[in-house]
């Protein structure tokens, strides 16, 4: 497996999709820093460094599908996978080496975002905005979220032989996941009461709070919260909009998805017909 990893990383350093991803995330971090600086300077808006460390989450969910489709997708197209097996490499080693390189590449792209944020963000932000432990747990959770997506996208990349079909499938899956996660997060964000202003019998404006029928309670709210915490795309939205309720649980869910997809992917790839 060591030789497979060396070959993968040698190709990674020459892959345009990797360096474009790094450049994109670094530029995204720069844009976020500039927007925060401009907002704090002109609009007197207070920003915290912890806020800047979560504004990349929605963009980050597209890193694994794009990278896996363009980097791992060529393995079938060029016959590389079959050549590795003919050379005596096991299917498990081939799968796991692909998983490792995709995970490493996407995490390095995330680091590219954090570099400008950490380097210049503290100059115009008012501290962390949260406890250091909470910020560390948030960053770890974001990394785990991307790891879960890498596991799922690697699974798709190693089982779908056609590159075009793979790209469409992975991107559609992420878009559907964001749509579902957005709906779930939106329902969870509903206020229990709506503040309304209406005219009373005396013709005067009066304020009152009315119960919001869209507010989730009981078992239904627990189910929606579980869906948001479990889905990687739901996690991305919760992190981005600062709606995290169960950070440790979200990390565990991400690690569970990563482990299950890796184990299931190895088993499925062993049985895949490569002829």
pLDDT 10s digits, 61-105: 999 999 999 998 888 777 778 878 778 788 899 999 999 999 999
Please give the full DSSP string across 119-147, using - where no structure is assigned: HHGGGTS-S-SS-HHHHHHHHHHHHHHHH
Q: Give me the mean pLDDT over the 111-129 stretch.
A: 83
Q: Using only C-alpha atoms, what is the Rg of the chain?
A: 22
**Other CB atoms within 10 A of residue 8 CB:** 20
Q: What is the pLDDT of residue 53?
A: 85
- Residue 201 — pLDDT band, cuts 50, 70, 90? low
184 vs 88: CA distance, rounded Å: 47
pTM as predicted: 0.89
Strand segments, DSSP code E, in the chain are 193-199, 205-211
Q: Inform me whether the pLDDT recorded for 202 exceeds 60.
A: no
Q: What is the pLDDT of residue 124?
A: 75
Q: Are 169 and 68 in contact (CB under 8 A)?
A: no
Q: Inform me whether the pLDDT recorded for 109 exceeds 80.
A: yes
The pLDDT tens digits of the residues spanning 11-67 come to: 999 999 999 999 999 999 988 888 887 777 776 677 788 888 888 889 999 999 999
196 vs 160: CA distance, rounded Å: 53
237 vs 178: CA distance, rounded Å: 8
84 vs 77: CA distance, rounded Å: 14
Helix axes 232-240, 247-271, angle to 10 degrees: 150
247 vs 252: CA distance, rounded Å: 9
246 vs 239: CA distance, rounded Å: 11
Higher pLDDT, 136 or 199: 136
Q: Are 188 and 221 in contact (CB under 8 A)?
A: yes
């Amino acid at each position: 497996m060591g030789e497979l990893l060396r070959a993968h990383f040698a190709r990674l350093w020459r892959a345009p999709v990797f360096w474009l991803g790094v450049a994109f995330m670094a530029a995204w971090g720069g844009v976020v820093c500039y927007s925060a600086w401009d907002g704090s300077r002109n609009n007197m808006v207070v920003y915290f460094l912890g806020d800047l460390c979560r504004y990349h989450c929605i963009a980050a969910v597209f890193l694994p599908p794009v990278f896996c489709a363009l980097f791992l997708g060529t393995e079938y197209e060029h016959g590389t996978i079959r050549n590795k097996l003919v050379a005596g490499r096991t299917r498990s080693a081939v799968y796991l080496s692909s998983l490792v390189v995709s995970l490493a590449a996407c995490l390095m792209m995330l680091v590219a975002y954090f570099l400008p944020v950490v380097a210049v963000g503290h100059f115009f932000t008012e501290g962390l905005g949260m406890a250091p432990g909470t910020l560390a747990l948030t960053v770890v959770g974001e990394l785990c979220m991307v790891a879960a997506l890498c596991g799922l996208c690697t699974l798709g990349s190693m089982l779908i032989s056609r590159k075009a079909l793979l790209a469409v499938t992975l991107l559609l899956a992420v878009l559907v996941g964001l749509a579902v996660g957005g709906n779930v997060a939106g329902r969870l964000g509903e206020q229990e009461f709506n503040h309304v202003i209406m005219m009373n019998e005396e013709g005067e404006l009066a304020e009152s709070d009315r119960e919001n029928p869209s507010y989730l309670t009981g078992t239904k709210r627990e189910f929606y919260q579980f869906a948001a915490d479990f889905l990687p795309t739901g996690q991305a939205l919760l992190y981005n909009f600062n709606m995290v309720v169960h950070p440790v649980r979200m990390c565990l869910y991400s690690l569970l998805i990563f482990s299950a997809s890796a184990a299931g992917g190895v088993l499925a790839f062993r049985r895949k017909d490569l002829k």
